[in-house]
Structure 1
Amino acid sequence: MALWDWTLKAYDRPGVAEACLKAQDGHGLNTSLLLWAAWADPDDAALAQAVEIGKAWETTVLWPLRHVRRDLKTAMPGVGDQARLDLREDVKAAELRSERVLMESFEALAGQAAGPVDLTLALNRAAQAWRNDAPPKIAIAELAAALA
């Protein structure tokens, strides 16, 4: 199964979306990288490449889109609410598409899904590579449990 398809199924599981958001907003992790690591269990070289790609993409594309989407939640003087909310939906679609492009880039590094993966180990390795320090153990444990 392709990474994007796997991700959509995984994201529908109870607790996965919440655990991803906590890892992202609470700990500065890249959820696309985490989900890819759970899917591919990449080697160190692929993981290092993915972190490099992911950080550049996040800075240039994901965060600007995410900030605009979040800012468009709030009413703005002189701008009609429906027009603002319609634009927010367009930005949300672009943000989702940018996450898919990133995950397709990650998938190209690892090829296909790994067999059974030690989720906690794979997620911890990805989190540590992303942060370059100790991963947030509770957040990782929650995501691993939700994905299991």
Structure 2
Amino acid sequence: MSEDVWSYALKLYASPGVESACLALQDAGADVCLLLAAAWLGGRGVRFHNERLGDLSNAAAPWRRTVIAPLRTLRQQWRERAQLDPELHALRERLKQLELSAERILLDRLGSIAQSWPEEGAQDLQRWLREAAGKAEGERHDALEHLRIAASLL
């Protein structure tokens, strides 16, 4: 695969409206790292298979649950107090960097899993995203469609 998943994710996330779309999908229960990896795979023409998504989901779930989610929860809990406390603000910023590092590790792991999957010129971007979004797709179809459009432009 030509571009690593982390570099791709940074470019996609920086696209107009993608951050808010991803946050809306996350609020609806989707795993943003899984969505970004799905967009990367779909954009590269990797054919969608339920087993492939299952492999990615199974790898992502424990890391998300035991590493990313606790960091995110603590960071969010500190949001209001950190606005009034400079030391807590600095700690919250460091926590944000830890969360980002944990997301990068997860994306790298997902990329490693998919490394041997051939680029076949498949047009499965929409399916990759829809299936990766799970139940969030029905709740936030607009956000998922925005993400799909942005990914198709990269």
TM range (shorter): 0.7 to 0.9
Aligned length: 140
* Offset from partner CA, 1:96-147 (integer Å, 9 cap, x none): 000001101100111178456443221012123xx5xx83233321221232
Match of 1:139 in 2: 143
Distance (Å, rounded) in 2 between the aligned partners of 1:53 and 1:110? 11
Pairwise CA distance, 1:9? 0.9
| TM-score normalised over the length of structure 1 | 0.84
Report 1 or 2 for greater relative contact order, CA contacts < 8 Å, sequence distance ≥ 6: 2
Distance (Å, rounded) in 2 between the aligned partners of 1:40 and 1:146? 14
Distance (Å, rounded) in 2 between the aligned partners of 1:144 and 1:118? 11
* Offset from partner CA, 1:17-57 (integer Å, 9 cap, x none): 111011001x1000110110111135322210111121111
Distance (Å, rounded) in 1 between the aligned partners of 2:59 and 2:143? 23
Distance (Å, rounded) in 2 between the aligned partners of 1:16 and 1:61? 24
Distance (Å, rounded) in 2 between the aligned partners of 1:43 and 1:94? 32
Tell whether the 8 Å contact from 2:35 to 2:129 is kept in structure 1 after alignment: yes
Match of 1:67 in 2: 73
Distance (Å, rounded) in 2 between the aligned partners of 1:121 and 1:140? 11
Match of 2:7 in 1: 5
Distance 1:121 1:10, change over 3 A: same
Alignment partner of 1:86 is 2:86 = no
Give the secondary structure class of the aligned counterpart of 1:135: helix
Runs of 5+ unmatched residues, structure 1: none
Runs of 4+ aligned residues of structure 1 deviating over 6 Å after TM superposition are: none
Match of 2:18 in 1: 16
Tell whether the 8 Å contact from 2:41 to 2:125 is kept in structure 1 after alignment: no
Match of 2:38 in 1: 37
Q: CA RMSD in A?
A: 2.1
Distance 1:12 1:55, change over 3 A: same
Tell whether the 8 Å contact from 2:37 to 2:110 is kept in structure 1 after alignment: yes
Match of 1:102 in 2: 106
Runs of 5+ unmatched residues, structure 2: 43-47
Letter in 2 for 1:40: L
